[in-house]
Structure 1
Amino acid sequence: MARFRSDREHAPFCLYPLISFYAHDGANFMSTTSDTTKDTSSPRTLRPLWRNRDYVLLVSGQAVSSVGSQVSLVAFPLMLFALTHSALQTGLIAALRALPYALITLPAGVLVDRWDRKQIMIVADFGRALALGSIPLALWLGHLTYVQLYLVSLVEGTLYVFATLAESASLPHVVEPEQIPMASGQDQLINSTASLIGPALGPILYSIGQAIPFLADAISYMASVISLFFVRIRFQDERSPKQSTAKSLWTDTKEGIAWLWHNPLIRFLAILTFGLITPCYGYLLILIVLAQGMHTSSLVMGLIFAGEGVGSIIGSLIAGPLYRRLGFRKLLIGTAWIWAIFWLLYALAPNPLLLGIVNAVSFTVVPVYMVVQYSYRAAVIPDQLWGRVNSVFRLIAFSSQPLGIALTGFLVQWIGPVYTVLLLFVPQGIMCVIATFSKHIRNA
């Protein structure tokens, strides 16, 4: 796993998604809704997020399903290896789950703009509940095969693409523009907590019974479906009949590509995110090799990894307040530099304690950066183009996981972990310098 999650921008399988409505000082806001005119002549009293019924229902369902997803993410390879005793076939199941992200993200973005987004989320979660629920049923009948596990993984990965694109578009309709950074920070908190709890819970449930992790995930998706049924608000603006008429998928996709290409700041955010994330996808391999070189025990190595979860939770909690205090420009540039500098410090950490601290801080900054870039996107991308533009953005920013992991493995084998860190810092440092002097960020 990478050191972040994507819009639920998490990497292909879990990605942390997010992004807001502020001008550069964080005090003025742009609304993405077309049916409401904000009165900026006097301060408004905002309803707390916890008193927003639709928001609480949405995030509660997503929180439960996130934990379930992380549980089954660990259980899938455990189950397949038990069936096949083949590391190759076990690895293929992860590849199949990620494959739809690369293949159908763009057309899925078009369909998310055409169809009812709430219904997309309901159908996707219900479909994933059925797919995951088929595994306990097959175990009970005594007919579970690795082919079924492959198919379930492929279905789950496909529906994940639709669900997360629709979910990321829903937030600006559920909360007020001023609350987007805080709400997206809480979304990061949910994913960070799920990533901490789920992988630990998965093997425990699997040891109790092979079917239990998959049954738990199926139930978690049904909990999300039920919560969505009770959400009253629509997840998109009203569409005219002309907007809903079916043009070709490619024609609609080109509209999303063209909009992103002609918006220089959104385009640069996609490239900046790619430049920061791609060198870090293989961080886990580097961390393991560095820790082993320090003759670290398994217990200490586990504590180093545990720092990731703690750091990401802290980052999720402070992201919203930092955005309000610093605004888009300062926080974007600051988090980009902290991201890159703490990556460099992996190579300089002299002992396991400092290596763990560096790792924890690295994971603290990731959700903050994700909140910043998501919040700006949510402010400026038109609702009727959200799915298409967001799918293009994701494809640029988050689809390089295979490249990043392969490159890291090659470099570690060739020049060792320390020089690998130094070399992979170069593209991150270059992107930070460009961001610092970018007129588009300066004028945002």
Structure 2
Amino acid sequence: MSRPPVSESAAEAARTGPAPSLWRNRDFTLLWSGQCLSDLGGAMVELALPLLVLQQTGSPARAGLVGTAGLVTTLVCRLPAGVLADRFDRRRLMIVCDLLRLAVYALLGWAVLTDAAGVPLIVAVVVAGAAATAVFSTAEHASVRSLVRPDQLTSAVARNEARTYGVTLAGPPLGGLLFGIGRALPFLGNALSFLLSLAAVCCIRRPLQQARPQAGPGAGGSAAQGLRFLLGHPFLRALLVIAAPLNMAFTGMIFAMTLALRRAGVSPFLVGLAGTIFALGGLLGAFAAPALQRRLRLPVLITLLCWTTAVLMAVGALLSSTVLAAVPLAAAVFLGPTANAALFAHQAAVTPDHLQGRVVSAVLLAAGSAAALAPALAGALLARWSPAPAMLVFPLLVTVAAVTATFSKGIRSMSV
């Protein structure tokens, strides 16, 4: 039986022995730092955009339309982004995406300064930025395998999780502060973040993919090839069944708990504090993920995390009318990065480099689609039932993931 091609990171691991700290990995640190800045800019704009539309039009519906346009664009672009990440040079692809995002958000900042930022322009900027971000993030996910050693994949994914939760904490307050000082500042700041990300990507020395010696199939055949590999691999099939309900449950629980607390008369300050607790739980969980992964075999770790999350969410649902509900839910969020780090690191390890983009994009599409439906589901449930029974639907979804983790041959096959 022929052996799969060995990635540069695997060859390096064989040559150099014990792994140095990821902080000493120049190329990974450049990519990670650049994305910290661009993610921070995106989190600022995520708050500032609806504020801008609301201020200009007075219409909450139009403000919501802007957010929906970006979300729908991201979902539509996921599969094509995977094909692009596998067919073209990933570094050049990320450079083009950063240039596009830099241009459109600089244009929006200038338009806000000159009072020329109408809703059509805002929607166009959001759509262009979301499409570029979908391509960039897919290429970035696919590139990590080429930048770190195989035994550091879990730590690398966990560090990316920490980045996500960190900007969730810092971005919205900073965006609100800058918007209060000057309406154009969050958008110009976002453009600056893409400029810095562009500089970081340009400074990466190592190739972000293996050589592509032969021309691949057309776009349609290329996407189908990735889906066939995904659906034909026992672990990757299990990953789909686990990631989608987990993402829907976390998004739905947090959204439903926010509504339930407000309906119970809890002050906006305490509701916001609950959101901060959730983000802190995820940030701390991301830092703890590598240590947890080292202490437990991966199949045991994933199964334990899924069942524990289901129980914690059920407790949170029963406490849904008080701020105390934030405690078990924050504990569940704490476990999320560990599950993501283990699952996505194993995905990167078992997927050939030339299929990384397509497999990652398909998994992210499934998880993102489920999360996008969660607020609507939460709202419909709360409209029909009281908070506790309505929110118990979400731990039931996690139970689907837990049962899959318990009995799936793909999960049991995960390496120690």
Q: TM-score range by the shorter chain?
A: over 0.9
> Do structure 1's residue 391 and structure 2's residue 361 form an aligned pair?
yes
* Residue equivalent to 2:339: 369
**Pairwise CA distance, 1:56:** 1.7
Residue 104 (structure 1) shift: 2.2
The TM-score normalised by the length of structure 2 is 0.93
Displacement after TM superposition at 1:80 (Å)? 0.9
Q: Distance in 2 between matches of 1:111 and 1:289?
A: 39
1:403 corresponds, among 356, 370, 373, to: 373
Name the structure 1 match of 2:327: 357
One-letter amino acid of the structure 2 residue matched with residue 33 of structure 1: S
Are 1:173 and 1:234, in contact at CA under 8 Å, matched by a contact in 2? yes
Answer whether contact 2:234 2:409 (CA < 8 A) is retained.
no
1:163-190 per-residue CA deviation (whole Å, 9 max, x = no partner) reads: 0000001111111111111121111111
Compared CA separation, residues 173 and 146, structure 1 to 2 (3 A): same
- For 1:35 and 1:164, the matched residues in 2 are separated by 20
Query: Which position in structure 2 is the counterpart of 1:60?
Result: 33
SS of aligned partner of 1:308: helix
Alignment of 1:110 onto 2:83 = yes
The AA in structure 2 aligned to 1:156 is G
For 2:64, the equivalent position in structure 1 comes to 91
1:323 to 293, 306, 313: 293
Counterpart CA distance in 2 for 1:440 and 1:144 is 50
**Displacement after TM superposition at 1:373 (Å):** 1.0
Secondary structure in structure 1 of the residue aligned to 2:296: helix
For the Cα contact (< 8 Å) 1:113–1:384, is it kept in 2?
Answer: yes
Tell me, yes or no, if the aligned pair for 1:31 and 1:177 is still in contact at 8 Å. Answer: no
Query: Whole-Å Cα distance in 2 between the matches of residues 156 and 177 of structure 1?
Result: 32
Aligned equivalent of 2:194, options 198, 218, 221: 221
Distance 1:86 1:248 in 2: 44
Residues 311-349 of structure 1 show CA distances to partners (whole Å, capped at 9, x for unaligned) of 011101001121122132121111111221111111222
Q: What's the % identity of the aligned pairs?
A: 28
State the TM-score, normalizing by the size of structure 1: 0.88
Decide which of 143, 159, 164 is 1:186's aligned counterpart: 159
Higher RCO (CA 8 Å, separation ≥ 6 residues): 1
1:193 and 1:434 map into 2 onto residues whose CA distance is: 30
Counterpart residue type for residue 271 of structure 1: V
SS of match in other structure, 1:376: helix
Matched residues in 1 for 2:372 and 2:362: separation? 18
Paired AA for residue 354 in structure 1: L
Match of 1:348 in 2: 318
Structure 2 distance, partners of 1:146, 1:32, is 50
C-alpha spacing 1:37/1:54, structure 2 compared with 1 (3 Å): closer
- One-letter code of the match for 1:411? L
Gaps of 5+ in 1: 1-29
Tell me how far apart the structure 2 counterparts of residues 411 and 364 of structure 1 sit (CA, whole Å).
25
**Number of the residue aligned with 1:150:** 123
Structure 1 residues 21-41: Cα deviation after superposition (integer angstroms, max 9, x where no partner): xxxxxxxxx99616854776x
Q: Does 1:432 align with 2:399?
A: no
| CA deviation vs aligned residue, 1:247-292 (integer Å, no higher than 9, x gap) | 3211111100100111011111111111222234322342124324
Counterpart of 1:75? 48
Which range moves more in the overlay, 312-321 or 95-104? 95-104
SS class of match (1:400): helix
Matched, 1:251 2:225: no
Matches within 5 A, 1:415-426: 415-426=385-396
1:274 corresponding residue in structure 2: 244
CA contact (8 A) 1:300 1:352 kept: no
What 5-or-longer segments of structure 2 have no aligned partner?
A: none
- Aligned counterpart in structure 2 of residue 307 of structure 1, from 253, 277, 295: 277
Residue 212 in structure 1 maps to residue 212 in structure 2:
no
Distance 2:366 2:33 in 1: 30
Give, in whole Å, the separation in 2 of the partners of 1:295 and 1:210.
Answer: 32
What count of residue pairs does the alignment treat as equivalent? 411
**Is 2:108–2:122's contact at 8 Å kept on the other side of the alignment?**
yes
Match of 1:23 in 2: none
Give the whole-Å Cα distance in 1 for the aligned partners of 2:282 and 2:76: 29
Which whole-Å CA distance do the structure 1 matches of 2:378 and 2:372 have between them?
10
In structure 1, the partner of 2:232 is 262
Report which stretch shifted further, 403-412 or 272-281. Answer: 272-281
SS for the counterpart of 1:281 is helix
| Cα separation, partners in 2 of 1:31 and 1:442, compared to 1, 3 Å | farther
SS of aligned partner of 2:277: helix
Cα distance in 2, alignment partners of residues 353 and 87 from structure 1? 27
